[in-house]
């Protein structure tokens, strides 16, 4: 039995929600990255293998002035400290207290969204809201049509604000009349530098990459294309339309690994259907 599986079984005994267990496991990699980035441990550290480092790490985390562990966790509602404390308890065979209900998970209730819409001063009929949300549950890609100013973008934006933790999880992108290929959404590999990939200014690819990270698999990420019909959809959106039917991947480049000019790693392919909810307006 692998260590990960043993830890999972330990969590099953301690945590009541399956979704919380998945979050704990997803954040283990993020914890490892945080420890390395903040010099708590060296770059060779593997959280699943170097279990003998736990006491050393625990001692360093107590020094808040240097490592800022508590401050870092406060901003993300203890999404790292709770899994880490569980990991410590698992490895020490002691009943160390850790927060098992630190995640603000709530059952989805469309009526709650309806109430918030009304409280914000927007006016949408209950049937429109129900049809909109039902469409998303059926397939995470929705086309909204209607007269200019009828609230197509606003209902998508309102839903994104309501369901997401912060604004980094959604992006509103105005489609330009000059969009003739996929570059405004997916960027392109630098032809002069085989190690570089140029990210689009729209931020669409950055959102997709963020959504695809393991620790974000349980979070909604929403892409809103505003005025989608200003350019030919089949020209700039063909890759997305294709993978929605095939559940395949979109290739960004081939060959050696590439990074953005800022040094951010860019994967060679993405899976939009699995990692992002697309809400498009026209």
Domain ranges of the chain: 3-92, 110-281
Predicted pLDDT at 80: 84
Pairing of β 222-226 and β 277-281: parallel
Pairing of β 258-259 and β 265-266: antiparallel
Q: How confident is the model at residue 276 (pLDDT cuts 50, 70, 90)?
A: very low
Q: How confident is the model at residue 101 (pLDDT cuts 50, 70, 90)?
A: very low
Expressed in percent and rounded to 5, the helix, strand and coil fractions of the chain are: 50, 10, 40
Predicted pLDDT at 121: 87
Joined tokens for residue 107: 């059952």
Q: How confident is the model at residue 119 (pLDDT cuts 50, 70, 90)?
A: confident
Mean pLDDT of the chain: 84
Please determine, for residue 279, whether its predicted confidence score (pLDDT) is greater than 80. no
Q: CA-CA distance, 101 to 150, in Å (whole number)?
A: 40
23 or 145, which is more confident?
A: 145
Predicted pLDDT at 82: 84
Please determine, for residue 5, whether its predicted confidence score (pLDDT) is greater than 80. yes
Predicted pLDDT at 63: 85
> What is the average per-residue pLDDT within 97-112?
60
Please determine, for residue 88, whether its predicted confidence score (pLDDT) is greater than 60. yes
> What is the average per-residue pLDDT within 43-68?
89
Please determine, for residue 77, whether its predicted confidence score (pLDDT) is greater than 50. yes
Contact 6, 87 (CB under 8 A): no
CA dihedral 270, 273, 278, 282 (to 10 degrees): 100
We find that the CATH architecture of domain 110-281 is 3-Layer(aba) Sandwich (3.40)
Predicted pLDDT at 243: 84
Q: Is 251 helix (H, G, I), strand (E, B) or coil?
A: strand
Contact 98, 89 (CB under 8 A): yes
Lowest mean pLDDT, pick from 15-19, 80-84, 239-243, 244-248: 15-19
Please determine, for residue 277, whether its predicted confidence score (pLDDT) is greater than 70. no
> What is the average per-residue pLDDT within 13-32?
81
**Cβ atoms within 10 A of the Cβ of 259, count?**
13
Predicted pLDDT at 65: 76
Joined tokens for residue 158: 């309102």
17 or 167, which is more confident?
A: 167
Please give the model's pTM, rounded to 2 decimal places: 0.62
CB-count exposure of residue 21 (10 Å: 0-12, 13-18, 19+): buried
Predicted pLDDT at 103: 47
Residues 6+ apart with CB under 8 A from 120: 158
């Amino acid at each position: 039995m692998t260590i990960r599986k043993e830890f999972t079984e330990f969590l099953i005994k301690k945590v009541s929600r399956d979704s919380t267990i998945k979050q704990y496991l997803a954040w283990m990699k993020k914890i490892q990255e945080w420890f390395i980035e903040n010099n708590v441990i060296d770059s060779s550290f593997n959280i699943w293998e170097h279990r003998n480092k736990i006491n050393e790490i625990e001692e360093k985390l107590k020094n808040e002035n240097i490592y800022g562990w508590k401050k870092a966790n406060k901003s993300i509602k203890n999404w790292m400290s709770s899994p880490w404390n569980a990991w410590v308890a698992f490895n020490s065979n002691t009943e160390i207290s850790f927060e098992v209900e630190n995640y603000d998970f709530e059952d989805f209730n469309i009526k709650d969204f309806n109430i918030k819409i009304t409280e914000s001063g927007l006016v949408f009929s209950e049937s429109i809201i129900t049809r909109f949300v039902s469409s998303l549950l059926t397939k995470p890609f929705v086309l909204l049509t209607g007269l200019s100013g009828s609230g197509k973008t606003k209902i998508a934006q309102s839903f994104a604000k309501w369901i997401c933790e912060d604004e980094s999880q959604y992006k509103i992108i105005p489609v330009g009349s000059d969009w003739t290929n996929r570059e405004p959404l997916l960027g392109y590999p630098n032809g002069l530098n085989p190690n570089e990939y140029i990210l689009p200014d729209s931020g669409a690819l950055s959102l997709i990459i963020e959504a695809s990270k393991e620790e974000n698999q349980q979070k909604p990420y929403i892409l809103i294309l505003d005025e989608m019909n200003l350019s030919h959809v089949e020209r700039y959106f063909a890759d997305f339309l294709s993978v929605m039917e095939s559940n395949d991947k979109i290739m960004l480049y081939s060959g050696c690994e590439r990074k953005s000019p800022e040094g951010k790693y860019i994967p060679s392919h993405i899976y939009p259907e699995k990692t992002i909810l697309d809400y498009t307006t026209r």
